[in-house]
Structure 1
Amino acid sequence: MSDKKFKTRLEIAKNKISRKSNENAGNKSSVLGMAFKMSTEFVAAVAVGTIIGFIFDNWFGTKPWLILIFFFVGVVAGIMNVIKSAKNMQIK
């Protein structure tokens, strides 16, 4: 094999490796972003459920029952959001 062909093939291999490492760096930040999105969705659902329960408890005077009920409704909604996001990640 000539020296010129070898250098050309070596450059092509180096370019492929650098492109793959750049793609992997983008993937890691993308994965971190998706993890942050899922955790934020979960926390937000729990917080909204708890706040709604607190407001209804003050309105109806049934403390702490509606806070507890809506807290668990928020937990279930948060888990469903995380599952839906995870399924969407698998499709892409």
Structure 2
Amino acid sequence: MRQLLAETGSAELAEWRAYEQITGPLGGARGDIQAALIASVIAAVNRGKGQRAPEVSEFMPRWDRTQTRKTPEELFRLAMAANSSLGGRVNTTPA
């Protein structure tokens, strides 16, 4: 993470975030969704007569066990705190 923050500007990170919003999650999160989809289909075709088909979300691993969702502003503050704690600096010059 330290190397990523040292070598990647905020503009590029913002571009990757926008790309992910358009194309879907990158990395492990995408694999979790794909695995959950397959598991839900297998469960659906093997369910008993009259039973409801399971939702994909029922098969998604929950990595973040916090009870509340964070706002974009809170996430930004956390990212800036992590950046600062790792010795990073904020690049405010346009790309």
Q: Taking CA–CA contacts closer than 8 Å with sequence separation of 6 or more, which of the two structures ends up with the larger relative contact order?
A: 2
Q: Name the TM-score, length of structure 1 as normaliser.
A: 0.35
